[in-house]
Amino acid sequence: MARIDFGGTKEEVVMRKEFPLAKAKRALKNETIAVIGYGVQGPAQALNLKDNGFNVIIGQSKAFKSDWNRARKDGWVPGKTLFDIEEAAQRGTIVKLLVSDAAQRAIWPVIKRNLNPGDALYFSHGFSIVYKDQTKVIPPPDVDVIMVAPKGSGTSVRRNFLAGSGINSSYAVFQDATGRAEERCLALGIGVGSGYLFPTTFEQEVYSDLTGERGVLMGALAGLMEAQYDVLRRNGHSPSEAFNETVEELTQSLIRLVDENGMDWMYANCSMTAQRGALDWKPKFKKATLPVFKELYQSVKSGKETKRVLNVAKKKNYRELLTKELETIGNSEMWQAGKAVRQLRPKQKARTVTKATKGVAGRAKN
């Protein structure tokens, strides 16, 4: 492991150069990796593993026709590399449980009875294991229980893999029955294209993940955007102006500067007026939202959020209700304005490669 200084705190992380793909393939050369679920994370992880030369099969219920058809479209062949969930679990020596958290509880009896001693049970989220009192997912003692959790959506996991960059992932071993659990775990992390892997526990992963999704990454971000948009509109600003100042500038400009070199670098590359406003108002937003984040974290840790998810997912008309909720967001003025703004973005033209630009590109890579 490499020991990296993260702002004064040193952490051990696993880099690709320390655990190269060739080593990962040797570690899993006799394994059959059964990816259960072809919805969100399943396609990306399965295709990345396949492209990297691992032996992969898919387990997907035919009842979900769109997911089954998507798997076929992606090249998985029924009866050869595409099976129903039970048969895939029977065939796999590593069973990657990548259906939704609620669905994991529903199919667990099928998965459990098809696990053999020495198999590995793989998760990309600590939800089912940590909240076992609610999910009833309790693995037998003779299998490895491991986790690789990419820090991005399935779409990003696949896109970054194809671009050659990868998504960073956390990893954890919950149960080591074979003595090979960590090796299997790291090999799978490298196989799905992780940029680097950092150790965690199932508990820490699910607490941070649920907090992040409900907080900055999705819930807080959407709420802040809506609040600012509403204030601008109520004060006479047009939908175009309100959306551009709220969303477009963030996603198309500023967040990219943060990605490149950090928040301080983004501030340094803005006008003095913007810098001053950001620095003066940042403490106010932190003070206003810190109590909300404390409440959120405790709700996650106590299992209240898990209970909420599982209870909603049990409703027979859940997908219908979800569609209505998403339509409410999509049909709001703010996101209809966003749709119009995206359509007005200039189309990107392929750049002509000249000797000069080749030189710049070459220097950038080095």
Query: What is the sign of the dihedral through the CA atoms of 311, 316, 321 and 326?
Result: positive
Contact between residue 12 and residue 199 where contact means Cβ atoms under 8 Å apart:
yes
CA 30 to chain centroid, in Å, comes to: 28
Which structure tokens are listed for 352? 């002509």
- With vertex at residue 181, the alpha carbon angle to CA 176 and CA 182, rounded to the nearest 5 degrees, is 120
Phi-psi region of 239 (alpha: psi -120 to 50; beta: other; left: phi over 0): alpha
13 bridge partner residues = 2
Choosing from 125, 158, 184, 214, the catalytic residue is 125
Phi-psi region of 7 (alpha: psi -120 to 50; beta: other; left: phi over 0): left
- How many C-beta atoms surround the C-beta of residue 24 within 10 A? 24
Nearest-CA neighbor of 149 among 213, 222, 198, 76?
Answer: 198
Instruction: Return the ∠ at Cα 221 (arms to 215 and 225), rounded to 5°.
Output: 150
Burial (CB count within 10 angstroms: exposed 0-12, middle 13-18, buried 19+), residue 360: exposed
Quick check: is 125 catalytic?
A: yes
Task: For residue 90, give the amino acid letter.
Answer: Q
DSSP string, 245-257: IIIIHIIIIIHHH
Beta bridge partners of 57: 34
Residues with Cβ within 8 Å of 168's Cβ and at least 6 positions away in sequence, in order, are 150, 151, 194, 195, 196, 197, 198
Q: Which residues are tagged catalytic?
A: 125
